[in-house]
Chain A
Amino acid sequence: MVKLERFVRQELALDIDAPLNPGEIFRQIARQLVKAGIADDDLTIVQQLQERENLGSTGVGHGLALPHITSDSIKQPAAIVVRLKHPVNWNSIDNEPVQLLVCLVSPEADRNLYLSLLAEIARSLNTPHLRAAALKATDAAAAARIIAHPPHQNFFRRNRRLLLFFGIIAVIFIGARILLPLIRLPAEGIYAELGYLHFNESIWLFRQQLTVTLFLAMVIGTLLFWRFRVAFAAAALGTLLIAGVMDLEHTVKFMSIPTILFIMAMMVIVRWLENIGVFRFIVVKAIEKVKGIPWLLLLLLMGFSVILGGFADEVSAILVTFGLALELSRRTRAPLVPFLLSLVFATNVGSALTLIGNPIGVYIAFAGGLSFEDFLRWATPVSFFTAIVVALLCLLLYRRHFFGTRYQLDSGELGKNTGTIDPVKLRVGIITFITVVMLIALHRRFEIWLGLSDGTALVASALAVTGFIVFYEQEKGRVLVERGIDWWTLLFFMFLFANAACLEYTGVTTKLGYLLLQLAERTTGSSGNLAQPAAVIFLWFSGLLSGFVDNLPIVAALSPVVKDLLRIGLPHASILWWALLFGGCFGGNLTVIGSTANLVAVGAFERFSGRHIRFREWFGVGAIVTLTALIIATTALLIQIRSAP
C-alpha cells in the first residue's frame, strides 16, 4: 500500500480564485510543477493533460476531477490538489461543475506506482465523508491534508450510532426505575374495581420497567437501524419471555393473528390486481380524458392516489400514480418534484379513508372492534375533506408549474401502457376488486346475520378472495403468495404487536392512561369532558412523531391506553381511535421517512432522475401540509366528540 502523504504535497496545493477554463487551470498546474522541480517543460505537460482530457473527461462526478498523465518530462510522481473558487464545467459524467481537482503526474517508468497512487486517491475520494470533508475544506492545502492523511475513525466514532442507542436505552432503564414507582394507581374507585392495584406491586414495577425499556429499545433501534427492525423486535420479545414477563400462550395471543391474516390476504389481493394492471388501466383511461391540462392532471392523479390509498394500499397507490407521473415527465418534461410530493401527500391522507388503506387502520379496527361502516362514518368524511384541502394547497404551492402551460400528451403513447393487459384477466380483476370491497364493506352485517364474532367476516372475506386468486392463477398463484407477501414486514408486525400488548399486560398503558387523565383534568380544570384534551394530545403526539418514527409502533403502544380509558368508562373515549388513525396517517407527510409510500416514491424518483431529495426540500412543504391536515382533523374530532360512544 502506498503512502499518499509522500506524493500529495500540501506545499504544492493551489487555490485559484479567478474564473478560469480547463486549459488555463492546466497551465497553472504545469507552472507549479516546473517551479517545484517536478517537471522540465510546462508546455508539454499542458499539452499532454489536454490530449488526455480529449480522450475522455477526468471529471469523476460529485464536483471532482482527477486529471492524470505519465510523461517523460516528469521527474518524480506527485499529486497537486487544486481548489477552484469558481466551479468550472469539466464535462463530468454527472454534469456537475468541478470545484476540486487532484492532478497526478508520474514518470513513464513508474507506471505501477502511478496506478497504485491513482487507486489510492480514488479510494479515498470514494469514501463519502472524506469526499465531503475535502470539498468543504477551507483551502487547497487543507483539502490536500484530508486526502493525504484521512482522519482516523476511532472505535467511538465508528460505532457512534450503536453507542447512542445503548446510551438512550440505559437512560430509559434508569428513568423507568425512578418514575414508575411514583405513578401509583389510586386504591379506591374504578382501578380497584377492575383489579388493577397489583400493578403497584414491586414485581410488577420491575416488569413494567423491563417492558418499557425493551419496547422503546425496539422503536429507537428501528429508527436508527431500519434494516434490522425485525432483529430488534425479535430480541425484545425473546428477552420478555426469558425474563418471565410473558408466557408463550400470551405471546401468541398478543401477536394478533387475525390482523396479520387480514394484512397478508390483502397483500396478495392488491399485488395480484397490480400485476394484472387493473389500477394502471383505470388511471390511464382517466388521464386520456384530461387532454394535457397540467392542473387537471395533478388533481386527477391525486384523486386516484387518495382512492387507491384508501381502497388498496398506500404502496400500490403510489407505485401506480407516481409511475404514471414519471412517464408524463419523461414525455412532457413536466417538473417531477411537485408531482412526487403532491401524490405522496394525497396517498397518505387517503390511506385513512377506509379500514383497508393502512396497516394502522387494520390494527385499530381489530383492537377496537371497529367495522368498515364505523370507518365510513368517522374516518372517510374527514379524510376526504382533508384530501380536497391538501390538493388545493398543493396547487397553490406549485401554481407556477401547473398554470399557464399545457402538456403535449399523445394518448396513443399513453395507451401503450395498457396494451399488454390481458382483457379477460382485467375483467376478472375488476369484478374481484369490486367484490372484495363490497364483502369488506358489509362484513359487520354478515357477522350479525351469521352470529359470528367481530372481525370474523372481515378476515374470512379477504382469505376467501385470496383462495380464489391463487386457484385462478394456478402455478403463478404460488409465486404470488411467495413474493406478493412482504413476509419480513409481517414478521415485524407480529413481534411488534406482541411487544406492544405486553405494555398493556404489565400495566404500563394503564398507568399512562391514568397520567393522561390527570393531565387532561388539569388542562380542563374539571373531570367533565376529558376525552377532548386527550384526543388533541393523542392526535398531535402521534401525528408529529409519525413524521420521524414508524407510525405503527406508536399506534400499537397507544391503542392499549385507549382500551383502558374505555374500560374505566371515560365518556366519548372511542374518539381516541380516530385521533390515532388521523395522527398516524397524516403525520407521515411531515418528512421523507414518515411513511412507506414516501420511501417507495423517493426511491423511484431517485432512480429516474439520478438526484436526491433533500430533507429541507421535503420538510418545507411537508410541514405545511401536515399541520393543515392535523388542524382539520382536530377540528373534526372536537366538533363530533359528543356523538362518539
Chain B
Amino acid sequence: MFARILYIISEKQEEKETVLNFARHHNSTVLISGISPLDGCPPPRTEGATRQAVRAEDYERRCWQNIYRIEEEFKQSGIRASVVASLATIDNLQYLATSTRCDLIILPVSILADHDYHLPEELLPNLSCPLLLISNP
C-alpha cells in the first residue's frame, strides 16, 4: 500500500523502530531525510554569527551521520532504504514529497517543536500523500 515512505528523522532515535516495523509490514522502501538546521526558530540572539554557523554545521553533520546510521540499520534489517540528497524544511516538505514520489511521509512530532507544534497552514491541503505524525512514548 505504501511502496515508498519518506521518513524525516529527528534527533531522537526512538521513532525509528516504529518506522522499521511499519516499513516491514507494508514491504516499503524507506527514503530517509532530515530537517535542515536553518529551519524553525531563529538561533539565540546571545550568540555571535560565527558561533551560530558552527552550531548549525555541527547539527548538520550530526544529522547526516544519523541519516546514514539509520540507513545502515534499515538495510541490516532487510528493509530497502535510500538517502535523499538534501535536507528538508517543513515548508518544502510538499516539494520533497512530490519530487521523491513517495506514498507516505512519516514525521516525528519532536521536529515540530521549533514551529510551536504547528504545521504550515498551506501544507496539509496541498500534500500529494498522507502524512503520519509519530511520537516516541
Check: B52 CB closer than 8 A to any chain A CB: no
Q: A56-B75, A93-B100 are in contact. Are A126 and B94 (CB under 8 A)?
A: no
Contact A60 B83 (CB under 8 A): yes
A518 → chain B closest CB, angstroms: 49
Query: Could you say which residues of chain B place their CB within 8 Å of the CB of A610?
Result: 95, 98-101
Q: Which of A10-59 contact B (CB under 8 A)?
A: 52, 55-59
Contact B86 A61 (CB under 8 A): yes
Contact A116 B65 (CB under 8 A): yes
B86 → chain A closest CB, angstroms: 5
Contact B82 A59 (CB under 8 A): yes
Check: A115 CB closer than 8 A to any chain B CB: yes
Check: B67 CB closer than 8 A to any chain A CB: yes
Contact B84 A607 (CB under 8 A): no
A61 to B98, CA, bound (A): 13
- Complex: chain B residue closest to A330, CB-CB: B128
A607 to B98, CA, bound (A): 7
Q: A126-B87, A607-B98, A608-B128 are in contact. Are A119 and B31 (CB under 8 A)?
A: no
Query: Could you say which residues of chain A place their CB within 8 Å of the CB of B9?
Result: none
- Complex: chain A residue closest to B57, CB-CB: A123
- Complex: chain A residue closest to B77, CB-CB: A55
What total count of A-B pairs have CB within 8 Å?
92
A607 to B78, CA, bound (A): 32
Check: B115 CB closer than 8 A to any chain A CB: no
Q: Which of A64-83 contact B (CB under 8 A)?
A: 64, 66, 68
- Complex: chain A residue closest to B65, CB-CB: A119
A606 to B100, CA, bound (A): 13
A126 to B99, CA, bound (A): 16
A126 → chain B closest CB, angstroms: 5
The one of B61, B80, B99, B126 in contact with A120, judged by C-beta atoms closer than 8 angstroms, is B61
Count residues of B near A (Cβ-Cβ below 8 Å). Answer: 35
Check: B64 CB closer than 8 A to any chain A CB: yes
Contact B29 A609 (CB under 8 A): no
Contact B69 A93 (CB under 8 A): no
Q: What range describes how many residues of A lie at the interface?
A: 20 to 34
Most interface-central of B31, B69, B79, B85 (chain A CB within 10 A): B85
A481 → chain B closest CB, angstroms: 16
Contact B68 A94 (CB under 8 A): no
Over the window 80-119 of chain B, the binary record of Cβ atoms lying under 8 Å from chain A Cβ atoms (1 yes, 0 no) is 1111111100000011001111000000000000000000
Q: Which of A246-278 contact B (CB under 8 A)?
A: none
Check: B60 CB closer than 8 A to any chain A CB: yes
Query: Could you say which residues of chain A place their CB within 8 Å of the CB of B67?
Result: 119, 122
B66 → chain A closest CB, angstroms: 8
A131 to B83, CA, bound (A): 16
Query: Could you say which residues of chain B place their CB within 8 Å of the CB of A55?
Result: 75, 78-81
- Complex: chain A residue closest to B72, CB-CB: A115
Contact A94 B100 (CB under 8 A): yes
Chain B contact residues, CB within 8 Å of chain A: 29-31, 60-65, 67-69, 71-72, 74-75, 78-87, 94-95, 98-101, 121, 126, 128
Starting from the known contacts A57-B82, A115-B72, 18 additional A-B residue pairs (CB-CB under 8 Å) come to A55-B81, A56-B29, A60-B82, A61-B85, A61-B100, A64-B85, A93-B100, A94-B99, A115-B65, A118-B64, A118-B65, A118-B68, A120-B61, A122-B68, A123-B60, A606-B95, A607-B95, A610-B95
The 9 A-B residue pairs whose C-beta atoms are closest, nearest first, are A610-B99, A119-B64, A60-B85, A610-B98, A119-B65, A56-B80, A61-B85, A56-B82, A56-B81
**20 A/B residue pairs, CB under 8 Å, sorted by A:** A52-B75, A55-B80, A55-B81, A57-B82, A60-B85, A61-B84, A61-B99, A62-B85, A93-B84, A94-B99, A94-B100, A115-B68, A118-B68, A119-B65, A119-B68, A122-B68, A125-B85, A126-B64, A608-B98, A609-B98
